[in-house]
Amino acid sequence: MSQKSHTHAQWSSRVAFLLAAVGSSVGLGNIWKFPYMTGESGGGAFVLVYLICIALIGLPILMSEWMLGRLGQKNPMSTMQQISGRLKRSPAWALVGLAGILGAYLILSFYSVIGGWALAYVKYAVTNTFGGLDNDSVGGLFGGLLESPTALLGWHSVFMIMTVGVVIGGVAGGLERAAKTLMPALGILLLVMVLYAATTPGFAEGASYLLMPDLSKLTGETVLAALGHAFFTLSLGMGIMMAYGSYLSDDVNIGRTAVTVAIMDTVIALMAGLAIFPIVFSNGLDAGAGPGLIFQTLPLAFGQMSGGWFFGILFFVLLVFAAWTSSISLLEPIVEWLEEKSPLSRTGATIAAGLATWALGIATVLSFNLWSGVHPLGVFAMFEGKTIFDLLDYLTSKIMLPLTGLATIIFVGWYMQRDELRTQLNMSSGAFSVWYAISRFITPIGVAAVFIFGLLH
């Protein structure tokens, strides 16, 4: 490695880096959130906008975060502080790092609850609960889980303990090795599910629902939802990718790696959609069912297909694993920040961060039962009917992530020197010019426009 003074070690290899980045980005966002958001937003038009957001907004910001991290070599807040200091820019840029940590905290609080749903479904799968389910009983199974604060709290606690355990145990290396087999296994299993979906009568309808855009369905709100999801699914706007970039060695080609990660992430999401919507249409279910969508559709398929018991277990185990690698990446920045700002040891900081996140998660647990009628900001028309979980999701994906992403890209595009960027990205001059123009103009204007229209809708 070259001249820079390093504050910490680097990824053992390019593959290890790629696995960690894919581990963070592929998670519940792809398999749980993407399908239900697509269903709530009317299908293909949402998917089209989402793909455009990944390419023109997510990708340049992913590259920017990695680049800043590699230059700064510290945690996101100190990285922003250091680079803005060197460029004689306002120290306020460090707030971008701080906002990211807050975002990670809020997201992890509900992410863990949904990770808990996936754990509960591992149990249902093992105990063969899916055999013989019909539309009503599959809804009843999910409804029964949501109705029980104690069950949700229990699963949320297990998921949080799993996450804290890995961060304390520092067994990330072991997880990395596991990811090498389990991530491809998830891809293959989704392919099996898509092939199964292809044998169902609703396949053509499901596939065209997902892939044929009906532009009349687009509203400011769905476009903002697509933008927010592009950030969420690529783990952007939280300093996570920036922190990962600080471990990146100079010889890794950022552009090529970012394209690889974005494509893998997108393919997993699209496969999840292609597996789910045919089942929705074959069984006359509601595509707009909301956050329960995959839990109310896939078990029907497992109950009907041959080998369904085995595939059901495998699917939910792999879903838990994908969620786990993402939740670890969400906990890390909070722990690092706490460790730096408090006298706590790493273990102490991890337990404290885990407890604080777990406690906030209780609000999400209750949003699905005892507090389902509590709508804290309901007096404002735009938040009407939104539970605490809905608000946490809205605040993070639709407000915080786009804003920190916007600040990041403005910083890189307008405040950093072209030559430095050019050296960092190490692209041909043609490709660099395209990237630079997109990052300076299209990405920031795109985020700002979607944001404003989305909020005003």
Q: In this complex, which beta carbon is closest to ligand PHE, that of residue 84 or of residue 325? A: 325
Task: Please select the residue that binds ligand PHE; options are 20, 21, 22, 28, rule is CB under 6 A.
Answer: 28
Amino acid making up residue 191: L
Rounded-to-integer distance, Cα 235 and Cα 24, Å? 7
Which is closer to ligand PHE, CB of 133 or CB of 334? 334
* 232 belongs to the binding site for ligand PHE (CB under 6 A): yes
**Pick 254 or 331: Cβ nearer ligand PHE:** 331
240 binds ligand PHE per the rule CB under 6 A: yes
Applying CB under 6 A, what is the total number of residues that bind ligand PHE?
A: 15
> Is residue 357 at the binding interface for ligand PHE, with CB under 6 A as the rule?
no
Among 200, 233, 282, 283, binds ligand PHE (CB under 6 A): 233
Residues 74 to 113: which contact ligand PHE by CB under 6 A?
Answer: 107
Tell me the window of 25-33, 311-319, 334-342, 432-440 that interacts with ligand PHE (CB under 6 A).
25-33
> Which residues from 316-345 bind ligand PHE, rule CB under 6 A?
326, 329-330
Q: Choose the binding region for ligand PHE from 28-36, 376-384, 404-412, 424-432 (rule: CB under 6 A).
A: 28-36
Site for ligand PHE (CB under 6 A): which residue of 18, 25, 196, 247?
25
* Residue partners of 349: CB distance under 8 A and separation at least 6: 335, 338, 339, 342
Quick one: 200 or 235, whose CB is closer to ligand PHE?
235
Is residue 29 part of the contact set for ligand PHE (CB under 6 A)?
yes
Backbone angles phi, psi at 32, to 5 degrees: -95, -50
244 near ligand PHE (CB under 6 A) = no
Residue whose token pair is 């957001």: 53
User: What residue ranges bind ligand PHE (CB under 6 A)?
Assistant: 24-25, 27-30, 107, 232-233, 235, 238, 240, 326, 329-330
